[in-house]
Amino acid sequence: MKVEFCRHNITPVDRRALDKTLRGLFISTGSEVAVFEEKLARHMGAPYAVGVTSATAALHLALEALGVGRGDEVITTPMSFIATANAILHAGAKPVFADVEPDTGNIDPAQIEKAITKRTRAIIPVHLYGQLCDMRAIASIAKGRKLKIVEDAAHALEGKRDGYGPGQLADAAAFSFYATKNVTCGEGGALVVKSKKVRDILLRTRAHGMTKDAAKRYGVTFSQYDMKEYGWKYNMSNIQAALLLNQLDRVEDNLQKRARLWKTYLKKLEGAQGVGFPTISPGSRSAMHLFTVWVPERKRDVALAGLAARGIGVSVHFKPIHLMGFYQKNFGFHKGMFPVAEAIGRKTITLPFYPTLKPAEIEYVSVSLKEALNGR
Ligand SMILES: *Cc1c(COP(=O)(O)O)cnc(C)c1O
């Protein structure tokens, strides 16, 4: 048996929408993107959404639009994909890490407090595996000190906590539509924001800071444009938007499917020696993006190899960012600085998890994990 780590969810409906766009004349940023943005904003209960090329671009662009840059510090978690910290560097600011909660792997609000200095300007909480961070606590820390909040919601489009979703207790929330994410167009991203002023900045800075976007420049008649501010090339295309549009209608349905598969996994792994799970906090609805288990550190790499040898796609979420060579070399980070994140980094294994996964495959993965942990 072969169980891939990920299988995307692009269906005939999405292919038809893409085909329709390809038969049209304009395939860069145009009407499909606008329709997608409206639909995403409505879906998230946010005033505005802006489509970009990746979550990395979204995080970077949000920091820029919120005035975060050179000389500023941004607090985030080491327990994330490198994109989160790299986006801070893209903005010219300095990433400052705060350690995570041992039971969830999410950034610990108490550690955020300790990491704040005179230079702190923003916080990027990352909703690990799909469970939202304690946004009420983080928002109250930010409010007292006038810090900006940009959520990295790459795992958590469907997440809710204390009744709030991504973007509702923050200045902006960033989503990823990368190949392995719950909603995908191969590569893509978006922001939701509350402020019209910020939205208008984002619409310009995602396209070089031009005063008119391409659809308008190449409309019926050519029209002149100016560049009044600095910008990047991060605009989402109609091709990406066409693939994404209809997936939003299936988000809840797919979450329910994953919730059932999640239960099946828990049942199959019940009582398995040394297998632990991140806790879902009370009042929290996880987006259930990744099914991650925590196993004894000394067995982890053997188990990864054992699963791979059985044809099972596995991954590690995450090796902490501060232990990456570049960050150690350039910022003096070293082992021991964020012990909770480091411990998770040594014990974590992510198993295949998506709506089309079959119960028999979960059975196979679960048996394989137990065998691999027993050195078989
Ligand atoms: C996937 C991911 C990103 C980056 O998304 P891209 O769209 O590939 O830029 C950022 N943060 C987290 C937590 C992710 O998992």
With 70 as the cut, is the pLDDT of residue 49 above it? yes
Banded pLDDT at 218 (limits 50, 70, 90): low
Ligand 1 pocket, 152 CB below 6 A? yes
**Within a 10 A sphere around the Cβ of 152, how many other Cβ atoms?**
29
**Residue 152 token pair:** 């990295």
- Nearest residue (by CA) to ligand 1, atom 2, is 154
Which of 6, 79, 80, 81 for mutating ligand 1's site (highest number of atoms within 8 Å of CB)? 81
Identify the H or E element spanning 145: helix 135-145
Sheet bearing 172-176, strands edge to edge: 48-52, 189-193, 172-176, 148-152, 120-124, 73-76, 94-97
Strand 148-152, strand 172-176: pairing: parallel
Considering only 149-163, 172-186, 191-205, 217-231, which range has the smallest mean pLDDT?
217-231
pLDDT (tens digit per residue) in 68-113: 999 999 999 999 999 999 999 999 999 999 999 999 999 999 999 9
Give strand pairing partners of 193: 48, 172
pLDDT (tens digit per residue) in 281-306: 999 999 999 999 999 999 999 999 99
Question: Would the pTM count as exceeding 0.95?
Answer: yes
pLDDT of 214: 62
218 CA from centroid of ligand 1 (Å): 32
pLDDT (tens digit per residue) in 308-350: 999 999 999 999 999 999 999 999 999 999 999 999 999 999 9
57 CA from centroid of ligand 1 (Å): 10
Biggest distance spanned by C-alpha atoms of the chain:
70
- Residues with Cβ within 8 Å of 47's Cβ and at least 6 positions away in sequence, in order, are 41, 193, 194, 195, 196, 199
37 CA from centroid of ligand 1 (Å): 19
Ligand 1 pocket, 372 CB below 6 A? no
Ligand 1 pocket, 21 CB below 6 A? no
Ligand 1 pocket, 350 CB below 6 A? no
Ligand 1 pocket, 151 CB below 6 A? no
Banded pLDDT at 248 (limits 50, 70, 90): very high
Banded pLDDT at 268 (limits 50, 70, 90): very high
Tell me which residue of 365, 316, 354, 328 sits closest to 79, measured CA to CA.
Answer: 316
Q: Average model confidence (pLDDT) for the chain?
A: 96
Contact 9, 254 (CB under 8 A): yes
163: left (phi over 0), alpha (psi -120 to 50) or beta: left
pLDDT of 251: 98
223 CA from centroid of ligand 1 (Å): 36
Banded pLDDT at 46 (limits 50, 70, 90): very high
pLDDT of 219: 63
- Cα(85)–Cα(368) distance, rounded to whole angstroms? 34
pLDDT of 220: 61
Q: Determine the average pLDDT of the residues in 209-222.
A: 72
- Residues with Cβ within 8 Å of 357's Cβ and at least 6 positions away in sequence, in order, are 3, 7, 261
